[in-house]
Structure 1
Amino acid sequence: MAGADKKKKIAVAGLASILLVAMCVAVAVGVTRKSGGGDVGSSGNNGGGSSGSISASTKAVQAICAPTDYKETCEKSLSNANTTDPKELIKVAFNVAMENIGCVLKQSTLLKEAASDPSTKDAYSVCEEVLEDAVEDLKRSADKVGEFDVSKVNEYVEDVKTWLSAVITYQETCIDAFENVTGDNGEKMKNLLQTARELSSNGLAMVTDISSILSSLQLGNLGSRRLLSEEGRELYFKDPTDYAPGEEPHYVKRGRRLLSAWRANAVVAQDGSGQFRKINDAIAQVPKKNKNTFVIHVKAGLYKENVIVPKGAHKIVLMGDGPLKTRITGNKCFAKGTKTFQSATVAINADDFVAKDIAFENTAGPEGHQAVALRVSGDRAVFFNVHIDGHQDSLYAHTYRQYYRDCSISGTIDFIFGDSLAIFQNCKFIVRKPMNNQACMVTAQGRVDPRSQGAIVIQNGDIQAEPAFLATKPAIQAYLGRPWKQLSRTIIMQSNIGGFIAPEGWSPWMGDFALDTLYYAEYQNRGPGSDLRRRVHWKGIRHINAQIADSFTGGRAFGGDYWIRAAGVPYVPTLMRV
């Protein structure tokens, strides 16, 4: 009887899923209808002015869809919007995408119930989590557009572009979860997400185009603020808790390390000298949708727990007693049946997170394959004097904006990967010994949309190898990176590159995949591995000048970097003097 019930459940889920697919496709066309607004093309008795209004609305739709890559999907999704206001049309486009992803979420739940093996169920679980996040980002993008203030255009546009880039990354993360899963479930999800991916890409294109139009008209504060001198000197910033109400963050004298002065809201200690013995218990005290800085001091010790900073637990500052004293470890890994996305020892899902003087480690070893030490899926994250240790996939710089300063990241294969806009200043990248017959890649960037903010930028870094790697005979091949996705983008500049890096510099992923479409650049690097004469000659390899290199510095690439200044860490928003 149990077997018959299960077959009946699967059959019902399958029928419902077919109906939901049809609904999701229809959403793109029908959701823009508004009661009382009239439909474009209707023949009601609206008077002589109606056709003129409809014509103007149609032209407005065509204009706002002009920069998109999926124009037919765009125009269909806005066909009943009945407005000429670009801001309203963009909000409608976001709402259509939200409705469509909502349909996909319902479908994913049904398919998860029908799945028979744990790996497939886990893949659908990843989809449920990341697609809910995608809907949330579309919602806050729509809200931001609705609040648009021309005097803050740069901040507004950069926020929305970041969040829409994340929506696209989340959809790609859902599809990636089906890697190595048997059956056609991955292909089903890819097909189901096709319209959502087109709608999300279109939304990003609209916002990017509006940004360029406003820039050409020189409206508002469009230029990035040059926060430090042209010499690139370092400054430290005041602790946010030291500011008077309404006071703008500003510079203090160099050398004053004010992060140490932050007052702890909670103390974690294994010896019982704090309020908590586990880090997750302290995080649980942070209010939902938190708006105030919440400092958690984690005293010296080895904490064996998988730490999750949940969505909404914003503005957490996690402070240790030093990365050699305060360490968080876990060993979840792909080899033991855990999806890469779910394997992180520490997962950051909230905005405005800061970590200082602490270490995150995945101890699964090279035989664990994909095993993440730190996954960052929150916007405006800052890491200062943090160690991130693992082997394959150590740091999942997943999405949004991220800044790393004076950090150490170790690993073997693709040990910094993801599709965030991540800038690393003065960081060490330590290549470790892999398993036999494996090569090492420092980066594997995952951009899939040409307008996405995603990039890995290494500035004044030190790319080195551990002794065990260097002692191996024959020598192990190591590369700066390889293209995980079609538009992979990585810039390494003003950095020291060790001589163990292969002279070719970059490794292909599979055959000629992405070699023409990637964006890899090196600028003003030094060290025995920085010689460009024997580098690969792919179409995607770029030779950049100072102006282009400067566009990838924090003061330019982030658009607004107030969040780094507020974190009270050393920071250079320009090219550096090295």
Structure 2
Amino acid sequence: MGDSDGNKKKIIVGGMASVLLVAMVVCVTIGVSGRNSGGDAAASNSGGGGVSTSTKAVQAICSPTDYKETCESSLSGANTTDPKELIRLAFNAAVNNIGDAIKNSTLFKDAAADSSTKDAFDICDDVLGSAIDDLKRAGDKVGEFDATKVDEYVEDLKVWLSAVITYQETCIDAFENTTGDTAEKMKNLLKTARELSSNGLAMVSDVSSIIGQLQLGNLGGSTSRRLLSEDPYWIKSPHTRRLLSAAAAPLKPNAVVALDGSGQFKTIKDAINTIPKKNTQPFVIFIKAGLYKEHVEIPKKVNGVVMIGEGPLKTRITGSKSYAGGVKTFHTATVAVNGEDFMAKDIGFENTAGAEGHQAVALRVSGDRAIFLNVAIDGYQDTLYAHNYRQYYRDSTISGTIDFIFGDSLAYFQNCKFIVRKPMDNQACMVTAQGRVDPRSVGAIVIQNGDITAEPAFLATTPPIDAYLGRPWKELSRTIIMQTNIGGFIAPEGWSPWMGNFALDTCYYGEYQNRGAGSGLAKRVTWKGIKKITPEIALSWTAGLAFKGDDWIKTAGVPYNPSFMQTL
């Protein structure tokens, strides 16, 4: 087929998509007007005592949301029946509301008496700004509907809107253990914004559901490209893929870091500072062996950064910031990744604050489509903050004590080892603490073909220390562990409560085809949130289906299994 034919097909498919979206809303609108007794379905926009068509369109677009009154109020001034425009207006309402919250939070910050509260407001300014960015890009792109790649199109929107909700939750979490009533004030400031953000996610999810029922996902054939997101950086750079997939190949990085002065830079920070603004290609930083005592941050919108070391035990980045040391958990990270399409290979990340440091993050990942291959992430409590968006970990090791993998990203771990370390006295250990708060959020921790083990010091302790697969940090916490070796030190109950009965009915925890002395299900807790994972459900949680678009992994030149794996 020639280019002209291809363009004609795109136009036809795009036109069909727009018609179908409008038809979808019209169908829902008819249902709404039918339920409004006494209403005149034929009423015009200009009056006549009936419900206007724009009002019915608003009711229709708000029908799948959990906060309908907030939704309809935010769109009360809309004078359109275009579903795409209504969704954009809903996103804009959330942007404006979050912007107002930021302005008001500045006033509260100025009045705050203690540094901990001021630090919390600083975190809010940061993460709420990111939430606004995600809402804006979702609004910009919502009109670019592509029926040839429905799953990828909708998933990008859902990932961004899930991140908006996570960012707002992160702001509120920052006020934990602060004095006064500022935490409650921030919750009140964000109440409407949180409802509007949840409504936006519901609208997008409902579009996905209806289009799926119409079976439109294969209109364009398997070779079509998604239109919403930029292609992953790895598609743009075959050179980078070769660097990642062939360890023996001579390196041609953009920057070399070496403690002994044999590279261009002695610190990783200095190398990052040389990345061009509006960079459009992968920027490869080769970090020679050494212990780098620095806190590294990949800034927002600095995308496509690739960090390659000489092995996770040879090239290590280390820090010791901790909550006990007066630093908010969000800011304790030795390495913080905020840019998109980040990749790390053959590097160690660590936080040496120890168990007594309490929350002390070695690696925080707040950027979309992040990939980690053969890395070590070592700490104690809160080692890996898998904060939001999509993340893929392969052939890596993560160690810690309490909640040492936490966050609300869609984080996938293949062939990874999880090492439980000895905590302080009278403490139990939990491998995961997932933080999902919205029923339509993409967030989940998925462990496939992993190895959950413990260090000798943990195993030698008498009496034995309790250890669990996870506990529900947030109300809709979601974790799936499958085809994984689970050591016998894991408590037979498997999962630990957070506090009392919190989230025991609303979490989603599942195990499938696991092995090892700790994998038995007979004595597992029987909460409502413990799910029986059938083969069909397990298949839906394999990476190729869970990500609903995995080109960003496939094109990166890293080992990857999109479906079930061969296990030992």
Alignment map for 1:73-152 (pairs within 5 Å): 73-152=70-149
CA distance in 1, matches of 2:247, 2:73: 54
Between the aligned partners of 1:185 and 1:322, the Cα distance in structure 2 is 45
1:490-527 per-residue CA deviation (whole Å, 9 max, x = no partner) reads 00000000000000000000000000000000000000
Q: Distance in 2 between matches of 1:367 and 1:55?
A: 63
Structure 1 residues 111, 216: CA separation in 2 closer, same or farther (over 3 Å shift)? Answer: same
Report the equivalent of 1:241.
Answer: 237
Structure with higher RCO (Cα < 8 A, 6+ apart): 1
**In the alignment, is residue 281 of structure 1 matched against residue 278 of structure 2?**
no
Write the letter of the residue equivalent to 2:67.
Y
Contact 1:240–1:567 under 8 Å retained in 2: no
Pair 1:455-2:444 in alignment: yes
Task: Tell me if the contact between 2:484 and 2:513 (Cα under 8 Å) persists in the aligned partners.
Answer: yes
- How far apart in 2 are the matches of 1:77 and 1:259? 58
Give yes or no for the alignment of 1:51 onto 2:47.
yes
Structure 1 residues 291 and 110, CA gap change in structure 2 (3 angstroms): same
Distance (whole Å) between structure 1 residues aligned to residue 526 and residue 406 of structure 2: 23
1:565 aligns with 2:547: no
Change (3 A) 1:75 1:112: same
How much does 1:153 deviate? 2.4
Q: Is the 8 A contact 1:404 1:423 kept in 2?
A: yes
* Amino acid corresponding to residue 540 of structure 2 in structure 1: S
| Shift of residue 56, structure 1, vs aligned partner | 1.2
Q: Who is 2:7 aligned against?
A: none
In the alignment, the residues of structure 2 paired with residue 357 and residue 515 of structure 1 have an alpha-carbon distance, to the nearest angstrom, of 38
Matching of residues 5-24 of structure 1 within 5 Å: none
Contact 1:521 1:543 (C-alpha < 8 Å) held by counterparts: yes
Pairing partner for 2:333 from 344, 352, 355? 344
Deviations 1:234-283 (A, max 9, x none): xxxx9863389xxxx9xx9xx96369566311111111111111101111
1:366 to 1:49, Cα distance in 2 relative to 1, 3 A: closer
Equivalent pairs, count: 514
Letter paired with 1:355 = A
Partner of 1:207: 204
Aligned twin of 1:396: 385
Q: State the distance in 2 between where 1:369 and 1:73 align.
A: 39
Q: Could you tell me which residue of structure 2 aligns to residue 302 of structure 1?
A: 291
**Alignment check: 8 A CA contact 1:396 1:417 kept:** yes
Question: How many Å apart are 1:111 and its aligned residue?
Answer: 1.0
Q: Specify which of 394, 412, 417 is matched with residue 423 of structure 1.
A: 412
What secondary structure, in the 3-state scheme, does the structure 2 residue paired with 1:136 have? helix
Deviations 1:90-139 (A, max 9, x none): 10000000000000011111111111100000000010000000000001
- Contact 1:383 1:403 survives alignment (8 Å): yes
**What is aligned with 2:457?**
468
Match of 2:186 among 176, 184, 189: 189
Q: Does 1:153 align with 2:142?
A: no
| Aligned match of 2:511 | 522
Whether 1:266 and 2:255 are equivalent positions in the alignment is: yes
Give, as a single letter, the amino acid of the residue that structure 1 aligns with 2:147. V
Equivalent position amino acid for 1:424 in 2: F
1: CA distance, partners of 2:414 / 2:221 = 19
Q: Which amino acid aligns with 1:177?
A: A
Query: 1:220 Cα deviation (Å)?
Result: 3.7
The whole-number CA distance in structure 2 between the counterparts of 1:447 and 1:143 is 26
Q: Distance in 2 between matches of 1:338 and 1:114?
A: 20
Q: Comparing 53-62 with 309-318, which one deviates more in the overlay?
A: 53-62
1:63 and 2:52 matched: no
SS in 1 for 2:452: strand
Matches within 5 A, 1:313-392: 313-392=302-381
User: How many Å apart are 1:151 and its aligned residue?
Assistant: 2.3
> What's the offset of the Cα at 1:221?
3.6
Q: 2:51, 2:557 → 1: CA distance?
A: 53
8 Å Cα contact 1:269/1:300 also seen in 2 = yes
Match of 2:399 in 1: 410
Q: Which residue of 1 aligns with 2:37?
A: none
> For the residues of structure 2 that align with 1:336 and 1:523, how far apart are their CA atoms?
40
Give the secondary-structure state (helix, strand or coil) at the position aligned to 1:463: strand
Partner of 1:234: none
Q: Deviations over 1:432-461 (max 9, x none)?
A: 000000000000000000000000000000
Relative distance call for 1:571 and 1:111 in structure 2 (3 A) is: same
Question: Counterparts of 1:345 and 1:76 in 2: how far apart (Å)?
Answer: 44
Please tell me the residue identity of whatever aligns with 2:361: V
The residue that corresponds to 2:476 in the other structure is 487
What is the CA-CA distance between 1:155 and the residue it aligns to? 1.8
Answer whether contact 2:318 2:349 (CA < 8 A) is retained.
yes
Query: d(CA) in 2 for partners of 1:117 and 1:372?
Result: 23
Structure 1 contact 449–487 (Cα < 8 Å) conserved:
yes
Trace 1:216-227 onto structure 2 (pairs within 5 A): 216-221=213-218
Question: Equivalent residue for 2:19?
Answer: none
State whether structure 2 residue 535 is matched by structure 1 residue 539.
Answer: no
Change (3 A) 1:538 1:314: same
Residue 429 of structure 2 contacts residue 468 of structure 2 at CA under 8 Å; is this kept in 1?
yes
Given that 2:148 and 2:220 are in contact with CA atoms closer than 8 Å, whether structure 1 keeps it comes out as no
TM-score (norm 1): 0.86
Query: Residues 85 and 505 from structure 1, CA distance in 2 versus in 1: closer, same or farther, beyond 3 angstroms?
Result: same
Alignment of 1:494-509 (within 5 A): 494-509=483-498
- Structure 1, 262-271 or 112-121: larger mean CA deviation: 262-271
Q: Contact 2:334–2:351 at 8 Å: present in 1 too?
A: yes
d(CA) in 1 for partners of 2:319, 2:401: 17
Q: Quickly say closer, same or farther: Cα 1:243–1:279, change in 2 above 3 A.
A: closer
Native 8 Å contact 1:144 1:156 kept in 2: no
In 2, Cα distance between equivalents of 1:446 and 1:222:
36
2:45/2:52 contact within 8 Å kept: no
Which letter does structure 2 place at the counterpart of 1:202?
N
Cα distance change on mapping 1:259 and 1:555 into 2, 3 Å = farther
Calculate percent identity across the aligned residue pairs: 71
Shift of 1:347: 0.1
> Alpha-carbon deviation of 1:367?
0.4
**Contact 2:147 2:220 (8 Å CA) reproduced:** no
Confirm or deny: 8 A CA contact 1:239 1:262 kept in the other structure.
no
Distance 1:81 1:551, change over 3 A: same
- Secondary structure of residue in 1 paired with 2:216: coil
Following the alignment from structure 1 to structure 2, what is the Cα–Cα distance between the partners of residues 522 and 563? 27
Q: Report the alpha carbon displacement of residue 577 of structure 1 after superposing the two structures with TM.
A: 1.8
Give me the whole-angstrom Cα distance separating, in 2, the residues matched to 1:266 and 1:256: 19
Contact residue 239 and residue 568 of structure 1 kept, 8 A: no
When the two chains are superposed, the root-mean-square deviation of aligned CA atoms in Å is 2.2
